[in-house]
Amino acid sequence: MKINYKIFTALALTSLLFTACDEGDAVVDDIVANTERGAILRTLNLISNELPIGKADANFSVELEVQDVQNGALVDNIEVYLGFRDNTVETGGTDLDKPEQLVATIPSSSFTQGERGLPVTSYSITLAEMLSTLGVAESDLDGGDQFSVRFELVLTDGRRFSFAQNSGTLTGTYFASPFLYTPGVTCPVEDTQFVGNYLMEQITAEVDGFTLSSGTITTLTVGDTSVERVFDTFNYPTYCGTNNPFKFELVCGEVVVPNQNSNCACGDGGDWFTDATVRSTYDINDDSVFEVTFTDDAQSNCSSPVQTTYRFTKQ
């Protein structure tokens, strides 16, 4: 039986919010003060983190803020490393992965003062520059391939801070300091495509009741990237009925479903959705009808994982 933990989650979140408000900036001050005079590279604005194939202006771009106990004075420079992961599976094909290499050094003298009084800098690199630097041909790119852009803070005393020294605290909401970004290769999808009202119908056999709100009209919107689509649905309406956003991506002809929690569970096993073993496809020139296939019960003790397909018909 699927259990609704919605009330518990809401109470836990409320408690967390009150705690955060009580502690205020003391938490931030304590973390920075007790990091052995280390440094943090905070994401202010992730301007572009996707690389559409065939678009001349495709680029990765980010605005960053430097934090340390001396308001940025401990940092000498920021090194930028670039790599490539070939996620295209080809029978008999060549693995085109490229190890990361140093592509830029940003001196502290080029930092400007941000609105919070801390050093701010930005970095941008085009897809063409990435390909040229790593020796990858554009014809070898496919949807789902990824570049890696890693930043490394070099302090005046020679110490270095980057992704390997990261922690859950630094990657949280306030600090947003991942140091590592993985811009993905995509095929362009216009923001007018695969959006609007759709009739959603489950077309595979039911395992323990409908997985999503089958037979209802749902509204698809553009998500965090141009290829991501999001809609709200009640998960396992027969048993659980939590209303959640469901996300999928349109990646160069294939529908990709990222790992996501249904927020329902059986006993102590959370029920997750993840990518299909065989993905659905879509026609970029026709968004009137398409299908989304994903793995249901991917990480739970509810039942064995099963492939579930939903058909979306534009209204």
Domain extent listing, the chain: 35-186, 196-314
What pLDDT is recorded for position 14? 42
Q: Tokens 């534009």 map to which residue?
A: 314
* Nearest-angstrom CA–CA distance, 143 and 250: 9
CB 147 within 8 Å of CB 51: yes
* Nearest-angstrom CA–CA distance, 215 and 203: 10
CB 265 within 8 Å of CB 5: yes
Sign of CA dihedral 165, 167, 170, 171: positive
CATH number of 35-186: 2.60.40.1940
* Nearest-angstrom CA–CA distance, 101 and 99: 7
Rounded percentage of the chain residues whose pLDDT exceeds 90 = 57
SS3 227: coil
Q: Which two tokens stand for residue 30?
A: 């304590």
- At residue 79, does pLDDT exceed 60? yes
User: Beta-carbon neighbour count of residue 126 at 10 Å?
Assistant: 16
Q: pLDDT grade, residue 107 (50/70/90)? A: very high
Least confident residue range of 35-39, 177-181, 259-263, 282-286: 35-39
Check residues 85 and 206 and name the one with the higher pLDDT: 85
Rounded percentage of the chain residues whose pLDDT exceeds 70 = 79
Q: Which two tokens stand for residue 39?
A: 């440094």
Question: Which residues are bridge partners to 202 per DSSP?
Answer: 310
Q: Per residue in 5-56, pLDDT tens?
A: 333 333 343 444 444 444 445 544 554 455 455 788 999 999 999 899 888 8
- At residue 289, does pLDDT exceed 80? yes
What pLDDT is recorded for position 132? 96
Average pLDDT over residues 278-291: 97
> At a CB cut-off of 8 Å and minimum separation 6, what does 26 contact?
none
| Mean pLDDT value across the chain | 83
User: Beta-carbon neighbour count of residue 10 at 10 Å?
Assistant: 10
Start-end of H helices in the chain: 6-23, 25-33, 127-134
State the CATH architecture for 196-314: Beta Barrel (2.40)
Judge if 35-186 and 196-314 fold alike in CATH terms.
Answer: no
Provide DSSP, 6-51: HHHHHHHHHHHHHHHHHHTHHHHHHHHHTSTT-EEEEEEEEEE-EE
CB 73 within 8 Å of CB 67: no
What pLDDT is recorded for position 207? 65
* Nearest-angstrom CA–CA distance, 12 and 25: 21
In the 8-state DSSP scheme, what is residue 92?
T
